[in-house]
Structures are given as structure tokens and as C-alpha cells.
Chain A
Amino acid sequence: MKHSHSNAMSMSRRFFLRSSSALAALSFIPNSVKAFYQDVKEKFFVKKQMIPIQLEINKKQYSLTVDSRATLLDVLREELNLTGSKKGCDHGQCGACTVHINGERALSCLTLAAMAQGKAITTIEGLADGDNLHPMQEAFIEHDGFQCGYCTSGQIMSAVACVDEGHTGSVEEIKEYMSGNLCRCGAYNGITEAIQQVAK
């Protein structure tokens, strides 16, 4: 099941790349064929479409009707008021939107909500067990692994995965495997030390 899902994902991405380069080429075509361009545009750009989806987030089932263009991040933040996952770039460049999908770290801004069906999604809101913080959350507080707090949700989700993946052998290894999560405040000492503590 998981396998066929990832196949579908890579196919659609390839299709997108092909179609966008086709459009780029079309932009050099003179005005006389603008009508043709319009036709092509109609064909490639899917019109707004509302689709019903089911999502499992933090062990809770949600039935939603969402825009087919909606990212998982925007659905979390704008539809479900789960604003713990942050938008820092919307392009998969900063890691602030990191969630776990089937236990692995994933960028929710690069995941269409419709692609996340049938998978177990965990956000920062689902990490603690009620009032009992996850050890990584406690470690981030203790080591002051943040300043403004905006990248923190993504850092913690990545940090938990980093420990699960076993990439905590040295300070250098932690730093390498945490470099997809940017922190402009530069609280890298605390982030690294928090992970070292939990990995012990």
C-alpha cells in the first residue's frame, strides 16, 4: 500500500515538471497563437475543485472538503486551527512545517492535503501525552533550544525523528541531520544540546 502511494507521488511530480517546462516553452510563442496558449493553459491548470478527504491527525479522524490545491500545511493552519506547524517559506527550504507522516519527518508545505490520506500524521500538537511533555520538548525548554519559537515546532519534530533515525552519534552528525531546519535566531547550541540529552 505504502509502495503504490509513493509511486503515485513521484509520477505526479514528474508530470508536473513536464507540464511546467512545456508551459515555459510556450511563453516564447508569439501573440498570434495566444488562443492556442489559452487552450493549453485550460488543459494543464486544473480549475478550482473542492474534494472530500479524510485525514488522520494526531490519532483523530477528520472528514473535510478542501481545495484540491491545498497543502497539508494550509489545511492544518487555516482549516483546522492546528497552527503549531509553521509556514516559514512554503517551498520546503526551511523545515518550519515539519510533521511526521507514518512516523517519518515530512514537509507539510510540500505535501498536498489530498496526498496525505490514509497516513498517520503527527503534528507538534500531538507530540505530548496530555500534560506530559515529550522528552524532546522538555529538553528544548531546559537547553533553551529556541528564541522566538517560530522554527521550534519543526525543529522538535525533526529532532524526534533524528533520534529515531539514529543520527546522533556526534555533535557534527546531529548538526548535519538538523540542517534542514533553519533557525534565524541561531539557537543552534541549545537545539544540538537538547538532542544530545534525549539521545543518551
Chain B
Amino acid sequence: MSYFFDSKNTKQMPKGRVEGIAKVTGKAKYSAEYDIPDVAYGVMVGSTIASGRILKMQVEEAMKAPGVIDILSHENKPYVSGFSGMKEMPDNRFGLPVFYTDKVYYNDQPIAMVVAETIEDAMFAASLVKAEYEEAIPETDFAKKVKEVSLKETENDRGSVGAWENAPYKVDQEYTIAKEIHNPMEMHATIVQWKPNDKLVLYDKNQGVNRVQSVISSLFDIPTDNIHVISEFVGGGFGSGLRVWPHTIAAVMASQQVKRPVKVMLTRPQMFTMVGYRPESWQRVKLGADKDGQFMGIIHQARNNSSKIQGFSDGITRVTRKIYGFKNVKTEEAIVELNLPMPTWNRGPGDTTGCFGVESAIDELCHELKLDPVEVRLKNIAPYEMETGLPWSTNYLNECLEKGAELIGWKNRNPVPGSLKEGDYKVGYGVAVGMWGSGRSYTGASIDMQKDGVITVRTAMTDIGTGTGTGMQNVAHTVTGIPKSMIKIELGNSDFPKAPSQGGSRGMASVSSAVYAASLALKRKVAGYAWPDKDANSLNIDDISLSDKGVTYKDNFVPYADIFSKNNLNDIKVEEFAGPGEERKKYGFCSSAAHFYKVKVHEKTGKIKVDRMVIVVDAGRIINPKAAANQVIGAGAGGIGMGLMEEQLVDFKTGRLIGNDLAGYHFAVNADVPLIEVSFIGKPDPNINPSGAKGLGEVGIIGAAPAIANAVFNATGKRVRDLPITVERFFNA
């Protein structure tokens, strides 16, 4: 394994993540970087129409190109049991039936894969693959079709609309957000190697190895145990790695067909069409309050685009039912099916979108009421989990708001828009909040102790940059007492104890519990070997501690060397699983954040610069302070992208994406982002799990974009209700 660890190295290492050295020296191996002998290169070919049917593949010229081994398409593919039995598209839970349909549902839909000897050969030959189509007129314009689709009740309504009909203060506005592409820096890639007896190894970029294992298992009808998925280093995900996408399935098919290992790495333009995106959305928020700013009721309607292959609802109104104590709530949603690639979960899915509508509307209401937006929010925070009626286990959103206001200097804000200036810039302050349900899933971890006392902690969970491995080391160290320099971490491998995908801010809340359980089990097991005359299970676990040299129970000490030799052991192994329990029936769980931003808007050019970002987060106990702050910083940077620049445009006639690369699609670069100021409430949640950590990957972005929009309003008096706030939207507002 490449994770940093060298017990012989006595040099003082800089304090940082467990995998720090691997990442700064280039030694960390991402999925496309394993050196597999005899590997062939696969390149995906996409359709050039957005709707219709392939009449014939034209691969003759490509087949003649140097180095080409084979070209897979619906005319030339191996048997895939999951696709062969498929009837109609809605029946197919795997998404696009790769090479098992002649129908075209969106532009750049994978229609072929060229397999060749080298990457140059494969890229060149892929440029020669063509198809003859029967073309239909595609539907690709969300704005045009959005109102034609009827809304459906989410069946979570509270109270009634009539109860606040006569609210003295009301806001009723519509908000839209453009499609946003995840674009992790590592392009999705996979190396597939079939081995004898239907065994399969995948070095795959994804957020959950067990998910890949189960999808490939059911598609190809082979036992999960035959499928080994390795995702040790994952170059970012943000949700794009939560599904198994066509290129991975195509690579499995290709490797089977050409009887060689096959490597495929998507091109950056393919990253825009083949691995999901945050769907385009429309929302209407109608909000009512009394003269004191007490909310009386809300109607939240939302629609998001989906593909024609599978419906995807982003869950945009969920957040409305959660953050505030509305007595009257009506929420409705719908999906708009278009000839566009499949959308999927993108960081803070649904809630990030929904919060833009709700948090903007609240700001509009506060302006009308002439009340402070921090005070109004404090007054209306949900006193308990509104949907279930359960008391919050912990919810310190109020403290987030109070602390954030103090840190940004909220008192310097002038509630009258356009009243502050710095040079040629108008200056404004904005606030918004975010909340995310704190989940936890059944997760396994194992610990393996060697004779020298060095332990290796393992889980199948991936670390997509979130600091999972470092968190595991911190928990194992805290619980066992073994120094960190003697704790190795291995993860992202389906041979290790099963774990859920790294997503939904559940990673640390889940795996920390499993490592906690395994650490306790290790203490007990080592003590059992050290004092065989005592009943290990009856010893008080707090009286047992492990060190670099051995185990201590009260005043007794036994060195590891004695334990291993007396019991004739090579290693000591424990494996434990942990998951949610009865506490879920007693409490509501949430993480939350308050965003306080200062923006500058250039009077003449309309350039918007986010000058300060203060983000205060309640995520329970913080296990990795540095990595946790980094997560929130990154989410804030994502919020700048969402608020000011990220926008995937579509050519409505052809359904092709416009500017589908990193020059055409802009997300925040270093100069776009100020040094973000992050702080944590840091109070452990006593009920969620033994560590008290609630998860924080999402809340850093939920509320970020509306905080920018609200600050722009405070700076200029212009209310922009459509994201991103580009210069032309700003001037047209």
C-alpha cells in the first residue's frame, strides 16, 4: 500500500495527514496509475445527436488505424446478463444500458469504445468512429419546458396554506440555478482485469468500492466475492463517484471481450456528459411573516431537470421542512425530463439548491420588514426536528449565527443597500444558513497488530480527500493509546471490512464508530492474551491501555513481545461493525452552518469579488481539525463557483454542451477565493455515535450561494434570483 508509513524511518515528519507524504511526492497511486502488464487502452466515443436511433455504426476506417484491437458498440459486445434481460428503459436500474441499445437519449451518449495498444492509437482511432443516425428533434431547453410539467405534493405538508393567507408581510419569488458539473480534478478512470474463473479486479475511481462491487456483480451475474475493487486514492468526487457510470461498465465488457486488461480514462469534455452533474432547477418560494419577523408559513415549489433514461429528483424542498419552525408548510416538486445526460447528487444535493431559494426569500422578507436577517433567523430556528417531532440531539445553529455575526463584524453592515463604499467598489454583507441531516451507516473496520505492536486499521471506505484515513488514525490512537507513528491506515479496498460509500457527510460519523469498536475489541483481546487467568470481558475497558511497548491493566504491564511469544502468535486481529441504533428513534440529528460574507461590487464593470467569508459550523466533535476546516474552505470555494460562475450551457438545437472544458466552464481558482475563515462550535453530539462527530462535507456549501447573493443585494440594491450571478445577470437584474 502506498499510504505513508515507514517504521524504519526515524526522521521527524511534518504533522499532517497520514497519506501526506504519498500525496506531496507523487507516489500516491490513483486508479489509472497502476502498472498493469499488457494493458490495452480504451477510449469512449459519444453520439453526435441528442435524440434518435443509430442506424449503423461506421467503424471500418477506425478499425484500420494502427494499433486498434477492437471496437465495442451495440453491434459488437459481449453478453451482459443485466442488460440482456432488460425490457424498457424505466426498468433499468443501472442507467444507460451500455452498448445494449440503438436508441440515443442525449448528445455524447456513449455509443462505442475503441480498444487499442497505446493511448495515442486509441485516441486517434476514436476520432474516426462515426455512426449513421435517424434523428429526432431533441428537447433540451429547461426554461422552455419547466412550467409545462405539473408539480406533485411531497406529502410532507404541515398546517394549511389558509392559516397564513392574511400574513402582513409576504414574499413570492422565483429562483433558478444553472447546471453545475462536479469536475473533480482526477478524471474518472478505471483499469479492469479479468482473471481466470470469472474473477475480476477493478482499479476504479469512485466513492464506494462496495457499491461498484455490487453493481458489477448484478450486471454480469458473478458473485461479489469474485470482484475486487481497489480505490486507494480518489482524486475528488463531490458526488460524481457515487454511481457506477457507463465507462466502468464498458471497460469491464471490453476487458472480457479482448481478454486483456483495459484502462479507460475519460477526457475532460466527457467528464461533462458521462458522470453526472447538478441538475438545472427552478423554484418558487412564497413566505409569510408577522410584523415581528415570526414566520407564519411557506410554499416551496421546485423542479429540476432529468434525463430521458432515468428520473432523478434532487429533493430541493427538503431543507424547507427542516431548518425553520414553520407551522404551515406546503412543498411540491417535479422533474423535467430532457434529452440531456443523467444528473446526479452533487455536493449538498437538493439542500444547496433549496437553500438558495429559501435563504434569498428570507433576506427579501427581512428587507421588507426592516428587520435584521440574523435576528429573524434566530427567532425562527426549528425548536425540534419538525418532520418527525423528535427533539434535536444537538443543534447549535443559533450559536453559529451569533459567532459568525461577531467574527465578520455584522454590526458594521448598513441595512440600507448601497450605503458602503471602498474605492470604486460598493461593499455589502450577507448572511445565509445551511443544514444537513446527520446520517450514519453500518460500517466495518479491522485492526491487525504485529509483534512489534504496530497496528494496521482497515476499512473498505474510500478517502476522497476528506481526511478519512487521518480520522481513523486519530480515533484508534485516542481509544487504544498506541502512538500515531505505530498506526497504519489502509482503505478503499473491497477486501477490507464492508463500508458505505463516502458521501452525504456520513463518512466520518460512520467509520469513526467502527474504528472505535475495533479499538475497544483490540484492547480487550490483547489484555485477554496478557492475563489469561482473568476473564477479559469482565475487565473495565478504561483500565486497559495500550502503548508503543505493551499493555497495561491497572498497575500490571506485559510487553507485546511476551504476549506474542507466550501465546505463539503471529498477529492479533479484530474486526468490528457499527451502525445506527435506537437513538435514531429518540432524536433528530443535524449539522448546520452559518455563512457571513462580505462582497465588493465594482460600480462600473459589475465585477463581484468575495472579500471575506466567515463560515461557522456545528458538526459535533471535530476529529481532524485541519482537514475539517479544509473541507469547509473547499465547500466555500464551491459556493463561490455556484454563486458567481458555474454554468453549463446547452446548444438547444443539437443538445451539445457549450464550453465543455475547463476553459469554457469556470469554477473558482485561487485568486477568486479569499482566505476563508472557518470556525467550529465543536460540541460533541452525545447520541449520534461514540465519537460525537456529526459530519460536515455538505454544510459548508449549503447556504454559501445565497449568502453571496444577499451580500450583493446589500452592496448594490440589486436582487439577483438566477445563479450564477454573472456580470450580465447582475446588470439585467
A168 at the interface (CB under 8 A from B): no
Q: In chain A, what residue has the closest Cβ to B639? A: A186
Q: In chain B, what residue has the closest Cβ to A144? A: B626
Among A9-17, A18-26, A79-87, the stretch in contact with B = A79-87
Q: Are A48 and B66 in contact (CB under 8 A)?
A: yes
A34 at the interface (CB under 8 A from B): no
A102 at the interface (CB under 8 A from B): no
What residues of chain A lie closer than 8 Å to B233, measured between beta carbons? 148-149
Q: Are A171 and B186 in contact (CB under 8 A)?
A: no
CB neighbors of A among B145-198 (8 A) = 182-187
Chain B 633-671 interface mask (CB, 8 Å, partner A; 1/0): 111111000000000000000000000011100011111
Q: Are B33 and A83 in contact (CB under 8 A)?
A: yes
Among B119-127, B479-487, B709-717, the stretch in contact with A = B119-127
Among B23-31, B316-324, B504-512, B574-582, the stretch in contact with A = B23-31
B673 at the interface (CB under 8 A from A): yes
Q: Are B670 and A191 in contact (CB under 8 A)?
A: yes
Q: Are A131 and B630 in contact (CB under 8 A)?
A: no
Known: A88-B185, A125-B25, A187-B630. A69 touches B124 (CB 8 A): yes
Q: Are B118 and A176 in contact (CB under 8 A)?
A: no
Q: Are A151 and B17 in contact (CB under 8 A)?
A: no
How far apart are the CA atoms of A127 and B27 in the complex, in Å? 12
How far apart are the CA atoms of A181 and B28 in the complex, in Å? 19
What residues of chain A lie closer than 8 Å to B533, measured between beta carbons? none
Q: Are B120 and A48 in contact (CB under 8 A)?
A: yes
Contact of B23 among A142, A146, A181 (CB under 8 A): A146
How far apart are the CA atoms of A176 and B673 in the complex, in Å? 11
B464 at the interface (CB under 8 A from A): yes
What residues of chain B lie closer than 8 Å to A125, measured between beta carbons? 25-27
Q: Are A147 and B465 in contact (CB under 8 A)?
A: yes
Contact of A140 among B24, B35, B635 (CB under 8 A): B24
Q: Are A147 and B268 in contact (CB under 8 A)?
A: no
Minimum CB–CB distance for A136 against chain B, Å: 8
Contact of A138 among B14, B667, B673, B675 (CB under 8 A): B14
Contact of A142 among B14, B183, B629, B671 (CB under 8 A): B14
Chain A 104-136 interface mask (CB, 8 Å, partner B; 1/0): 000000000000000000011101100111000
What residues of chain A lie closer than 8 Å to B29, measured between beta carbons? 83
Known: A140-B24, A191-B670. A96 touches B630 (CB 8 A): no
Q: Are B236 and A184 in contact (CB under 8 A)?
A: yes
B314 at the interface (CB under 8 A from A): no
Q: In chain A, what residue has the closest Cβ to B663? A: A93
Minimum CB–CB distance for A67 against chain B, Å: 4
How far apart are the CA atoms of A137 and B24 in the complex, in Å? 6
Q: Are B14 and A153 in contact (CB under 8 A)?
A: no
Q: Are B669 and A182 in contact (CB under 8 A)?
A: yes
Q: Are A176 and B671 in contact (CB under 8 A)?
A: yes
CB neighbors of A among B1-57 (8 A) = 9, 11, 13-17, 19-30, 32-33, 35
What residues of chain B lie closer than 8 Å to A78, measured between beta carbons? 118-119
Q: Are B183 and A186 in contact (CB under 8 A)?
A: no
Q: For the side of the interface on A, what is the size category?
A: 35 or more
Minimum CB–CB distance for B616 against chain A, Å: 16
Q: Are A178 and B670 in contact (CB under 8 A)?
A: yes
B361 at the interface (CB under 8 A from A): no
Q: Are B631 and A147 in contact (CB under 8 A)?
A: yes
Chain A 44-77 interface mask (CB, 8 Å, partner B; 1/0): 0001100000000000000000010110001001
What residues of chain A lie closer than 8 Å to B267, measured between beta carbons? 90
B503 at the interface (CB under 8 A from A): no
How far apart are the CA atoms of A152 and B11 in the complex, in Å? 23
Chain B 430-471 interface mask (CB, 8 Å, partner A; 1/0): 000000000000000000000000000000000011110000
What residues of chain A lie closer than 8 Å to B669, measured between beta carbons? 179-180, 182
Known: A48-B120, A141-B21. A148 touches B671 (CB 8 A): no
How far apart are the CA atoms of A72 and B156 in the complex, in Å? 57
What residues of chain B lie closer than 8 Å to A70, measured between beta carbons? 120
What residues of chain A lie closer than 8 Å to B20, measured between beta carbons? 140-141
Contact of B26 among A48, A83, A186 (CB under 8 A): A83
A37 at the interface (CB under 8 A from B): no
Q: Are A189 and B630 in contact (CB under 8 A)?
A: yes
Q: Are A133 and B21 in contact (CB under 8 A)?
A: yes
B235 at the interface (CB under 8 A from A): yes
Q: Are B634 and A141 in contact (CB under 8 A)?
A: no
How far apart are the CA atoms of A186 and B613 in the complex, in Å? 14
What residues of chain B lie closer than 8 Å to A83, measured between beta carbons? 26, 29-30, 33
A5 at the interface (CB under 8 A from B): no
Contact of A124 among B26, B32, B465 (CB under 8 A): B26
Q: Are A186 and B25 in contact (CB under 8 A)?
A: no
How far apart are the CA atoms of A175 and B609 in the complex, in Å? 14
What residues of chain A lie closer than 8 Å to B466, measured between beta carbons? 147
Contact of B16 among A48, A142, A185 (CB under 8 A): A142
Q: Are A91 and B236 in contact (CB under 8 A)?
A: no
Known: A83-B26, A141-B14. A150 touches B186 (CB 8 A): yes
Q: Are A148 and B235 in contact (CB under 8 A)?
A: yes
Q: Are A141 and B16 in contact (CB under 8 A)?
A: yes
Contact of B265 among A87, A178, A180 (CB under 8 A): A87
How far apart are the CA atoms of A124 and B25 in the complex, in Å? 6
What residues of chain A lie closer than 8 Å to B184, measured between beta carbons? 148, 150, 184
How far apart are the CA atoms of A146 and B25 in the complex, in Å? 13
Most buried by B among A48, A74, A87: A87
How far apart are the CA atoms of A69 and B668 in the complex, in Å? 32
Q: Are A141 and B24 in contact (CB under 8 A)?
A: yes
B80 at the interface (CB under 8 A from A): no
Most buried by A among B23, B33, B633: B23
19 A-B pairs with CB atoms under 8 Å apart are A83-B26, A83-B30, A124-B24, A131-B9, A137-B24, A137-B25, A144-B630, A147-B630, A147-B631, A148-B184, A149-B22, A153-B26, A171-B675, A176-B671, A184-B182, A184-B185, A184-B238, A186-B635, A188-B637
Chain B interface residues (CB < 8 Å from chain A): 9, 11, 13-17, 19-30, 32-33, 35, 66-67, 118-121, 124, 182-187, 233-238, 265, 267-268, 464-467, 626-627, 629-631, 633-638, 661-663, 667-673, 675-676
**Apart from A91-B662, A144-B16, A149-B23: 8 A-B pairs, beta carbons within 8 A:** A86-B30, A125-B26, A137-B25, A141-B21, A179-B670, A186-B634, A187-B634, A188-B670
- List the 9 closest A-B pairs by CB distance, nearest first: A84-B26, A186-B637, A150-B235, A148-B465, A147-B465, A186-B634, A149-B23, A141-B16, A124-B26
